[in-house]
Amino acid sequence: MGTGSPTRPCEFGVVRRGRGTADVTVFRPNRSRRVIYFQNGRAVGYDQGQADKGTFRVFKESDLYIIFVGTERYEIPESVVFERESKCSIITYIH
């Protein structure tokens, strides 16, 4: 998926609705948060605010979702969406 800074573990919360539908809230190191929405096992959007200008892109490598929101990069294991899991990473690219 290209080069960049190494990922760091971060805290998150998840509300699962079954069958791969979930809201994953990622708590970033700067204490802000980002919500990624999943439907039927696919990342379909995020909590876009007026200040958000970035594009939403999703790639899947094996059982790992790699999600870009502008310059932010999130790596979310598939098991977070479908079952209990305690790992989530975030990376912010600097231009």
How far is the C-alpha of 59 from the C-alpha of 28, rounded, in Å?
Answer: 20
Model pTM score? 0.82
Indicate the domain borders of the chain: 8-92
40-80 confidence digits (pLDDT tens):
999 999 998 767 777 999 999 998 999 999 888 899 988 88
User: Pick the residue with more confidence: 44 or 5?
Assistant: 44
Question: Phi/psi zone of residue 80: left (φ > 0), alpha (ψ -120 to 50 degrees), beta?
Answer: alpha
Q: Between these two residues, 11 and 15, which has the higher pLDDT value? A: 15
